[in-house]
Structure 1
Amino acid sequence: MDGSGPDAMRRAMTRRAWTRRHRVTLAVAIVVILGAGALAVASHTLLRLLTLKIAVARTSTEDRQAATALLQFFAAQHPQVRISPLFEPDRLTAAAALDRGDSQLALLRSDASAQDGQTLVILRRDAVVFVAPGGSHVDSVTKLRGATVGLLDGRKLDARLLDLILKHFGIPPDSVRRELLTVDQLTEAARHRRVDAVFVVAPPASKLWLSLYTALRKGAGQPKTFEVDEAAAIAREHPVLDTIDVPKGTFAGSVPAPSDDITTLSVSHRLIAQSEMPDWLAGEITREVLTGKPRLVALDDDLAGIEAPDTDDKVQALPIHPGAAAYLTGNMPSLSDQAQNAAYWVGLMVSAAASLSAAAAALYQRYRPQEPPGRVMRLLEIWLSVRGADAAALDTLESETDALVAETIRTHAHAHERTESPELRLVTLLVVHVREAIQRRRGQMRETGRA
């Protein structure tokens, strides 16, 4: 037969069926690819508009200044990362805000850190010392029993830390009287012997020392500075604390203070992140703060003590964020590496989704309920059945062919089609070949009968 025979028709119909089956697959694949692209664009946009809240104690001047410096630094260096302050009444409530998830970052002191917080950077270390007004009999922690200690107003954590130190020395905290004072009130308190010592927790380079020593000197002459004895033992017992060496004359003033080198207790102020913060983000923040230290110090003098946390410190009381540890140990992938990994995984997921969609479409086409064969398919089946049919079967097939032709003509006549449809053309062509096949089969049967 020529190229317009039943074989050609079957090939044409097979191609049309294949096209219909795979049209759905192609559409699904396109939707998956477009969806992945939209997700990538949305993620990029969200990252460029990343906003992080940082919990800050409203009562701490040092924390407010540090937060302001960080906000200005990131606004100038990384405008796509926005940091907004969340002011809390004190450091304890700031830690609670981080635990609740109200903020992603917090400025916290080591002895009041959040349960769900992990260290990114140490911003500064405060020395813990006692300063006794001139003429006071108190010159060591052991002599504080029955004495009155002045506490700087607005520092709630200092009272807790004082209790901890007193308990270590076996001094009942309630045996030591407390008086809350501002720096401006220290002169009168020293002049009237209302305090035997002042408990101070501040950075060694803070401007607070000059004001404090000046006020005490005006009230009662030259003050005496004494350290927290057994600081190392206290730090071992309470890992959130540490020791610090304060050289002679570190505290600013006309008279060198302390008068000799001392080793005393210290607390650290830290930039803390939620443990759920992604490692890459925690690592980037850590890197920016450490490398941007000169600019941050220009904004806040107290940030001169910025340092990296010790990755070899296994104390779990103040854990380091895995992202910060990865950066500090040199294991943090670069942004280009992370982008390549993200592109690889997105491509892999798109490919897998397209393959699964194709397989699902193929299974659907294979197992979906089959529709009854149309007139064209029935004529092809008749043409294939002619070769093995007997005389009675040939008559039946011929009658069915005539009925199919009549049905096709009626259908297209009712539709008032002005152009010949593909079905009508195929039916007309197939009928010709079916009749030829029937005639050949009858001729073969006559020759067989004569033989």
Structure 2
Amino acid sequence: MMSIKLPLWLRLISLVGIAVLAIGAGLLGYRYYTRPVTLTVAAGSVDGEAVKAMSTIASRLVSTNAAVRLKVIDTGTTLDAAKAFSEGSVDLAVVRGDVGDLSQAQAVVVVSHMVLLIIAPPGSTIDSMDKLKGRRIGVVAGAANARIVDVLSKEYGLDRAKTFKDIDLPDARRAIQSKEVAALLVVIPLAEKYLSLVRSFFQQGPKALPVLIAIESAGAIAQADRAYESFDVPKGTLRGAPPVPDDDLTTLRTSLYLVARKKLGSDLIATLTQTIMSVRRDLLTEQPIFAQIAAPSTDPDAYLAVHPGAAAFYNGTQQSFMDEYGNWIYLTPMILGGMASVLAAAWKFLGIGQPETVQGPLDSLYALARRIRKVDTEAELSDIEDEIDGILREQRSRAARGDETAVDEATLNVAAHRLENLIHDRRTLLATRPAIHTAA
């Protein structure tokens, strides 16, 4: 079967089309692999500050052109944020260590530390947990603080139903002033914004000193429930002069984490962690609470395990240049070699720079043999004999001039003799065919 050679212009257009498709596919692949990855994060708090904080971080990630972006989902409360995370509807969440199901959670950063404060109004005789028996304690954000209430009830023998009453944040001041409750239980970061809010619940004045109640069994509670740790509230935290408390006061503390699902890639979370920690100082101007952003415990037996990607950042074990790009360095020569082969094939396909195949005298003679077998007239045979004579004359002339490319005479004679026999046989065959008369 004869091969069909496409015209040069058609081969060129085909090659350009293939190149355009390859470049387009490469660009699409590059955009796919370099596009920012957006993670959903659930956040919620009774004062809305958790959502504002995460929105600030999300905006900072956009302004720094980070490889990771955040889509903040306002769940209303910390409990609902933990629920959304446990249900798998979000990638990240801002949750307290003592709220919700965290079995699929791994820590990225500690957003803040949440400190338990039990506060009685100025002039109250309640100065210890034992004196709270038979009294009513208002619990701000009761759903989120259900676990800590259970812990205190068990440790101090308090009747949970009779001692603790859930109070909405807007009703806290009214409840304490109307003596509906004898004390308030709040769990807050020790940041000025939240301390000012707590002060506003109570009577103000030079001698109006709220009473902070110590959790003397904080150490034992922390050993029994690792979501908590014993913590000393510094002297003068709630009020400076005169100081409230008047000395360091023992209580409980839990942490507010940004957590990630275990299935998220290490490189992705390492990038997120690095970006958050690097912009932490800038965030302070917008949200002072970010002063408390810190690395979670990387100990293997930590209460909430740190995500491997975050751990790699904190421990300085992120992949080095060779670790990350070693495969590319190894594969690049192979890829370039493959591209060179493709280009060579394309060059050959176009036929650029390739000399046209020149048909030699023997090729011409062999081609005549095929023609002889197909001729139908004496005239065609005569024409072929003339072509044979022309080829023979040209080759003898080259040989006489000393042209090294000339075919030797013996080879030419053999080929010519074979053709003469074919011509003779064809003439004999044509002579035996009956004549064909055409109608006038």
Sort the TM-score into its range (normalised by shorter chain): 0.5 to 0.7
Query: Counting helix residues as a fraction of each chain, which structure ranks higher?
Result: 1
Q: Give yes or no for the alignment of 1:212 onto 2:198.
A: yes
Map of 1:23-422 to 2, 5 A cutoff? 38=25, 41-57=28-44, 59-78=46-65, 81-112=68-99, 114-152=102-140, 154=141, 156-182=143-169, 185-218=171-204, 221-252=208-239, 255-315=242-302, 317-334=303-320, 336-337=321-322, 340-341=325-326, 343-344=328-329, 347=332
Distance 1:308 1:177, change over 3 A: closer
Partner of 2:428: none
State the identity as a percent. 27
Partner of 1:397: none
Contact 1:52–1:104 under 8 Å retained in 2: yes
SS at match of 1:112: coil
Inter-partner Cα distance in structure 1 for 2:166 and 2:85: 31
Contact 2:116–2:187 under 8 Å retained in 1: yes
SS at match of 1:119: strand
Shift, 1:47, TM fit: 3.2
Aligned residues: 357
Inter-partner Cα distance in structure 1 for 2:215 and 2:375: 110
Shift, 1:139, TM fit: 2.2
Listed one character per residue, the Cα deviations across residues 185-242 of structure 1 (whole Å, up to 9, x for unaligned) are: 4444334322121101111123222332343234994221012222122222222222
SS at match of 2:151: helix
Distance 1:97 1:159, change over 3 A: closer
Contact 1:293–1:306 under 8 Å retained in 2: yes
Inter-partner Cα distance in structure 1 for 2:292 and 2:239: 17
Shift, 1:101, TM fit: 3.7
Shift, 1:151, TM fit: 1.9
Inter-partner Cα distance in structure 2 for 1:135 and 1:73: 46
Partner of 2:432: none
Structure 1: gaps of 5 or more residues: 1-12, 17-26, 355-382, 384-401, 411-432, 441-451
SS at match of 2:276: helix
Inter-partner Cα distance in structure 1 for 2:89 and 2:334: 33
TM-score by length of 2: 0.67
* Greater mean deviation of Cα atoms: 260-269 or 64-73: 64-73
* Greater mean deviation of Cα atoms: 295-304 or 251-260: 251-260
Contact 1:137–1:196 under 8 Å retained in 2: no
Distance 1:58 1:42, change over 3 A: farther
Which amino acid in the other structure matches residue 329 of structure 1?
N
TM-score by length of 1: 0.65
Inter-partner Cα distance in structure 2 for 1:352 and 1:115: 49
SS at match of 2:145: helix
Contact 1:210–1:252 under 8 Å retained in 2: no
Inter-partner Cα distance in structure 1 for 2:132 and 2:371: 117
Distance 1:67 1:155, change over 3 A: farther
Partner of 1:419: none
Inter-partner Cα distance in structure 1 for 2:82 and 2:337: 44
Shift, 1:311, TM fit: 1.3
Which amino acid in the other structure matches residue 207 of structure 1?
K
Which amino acid in the other structure matches residue 126 of structure 1?
M
Inter-partner Cα distance in structure 2 for 1:103 and 1:92: 14
Structure 2: gaps of 5 or more residues: 4-13, 340-365, 377-410, 419-440
SS at match of 1:85: strand
Inter-partner Cα distance in structure 2 for 1:293 and 1:223: 34
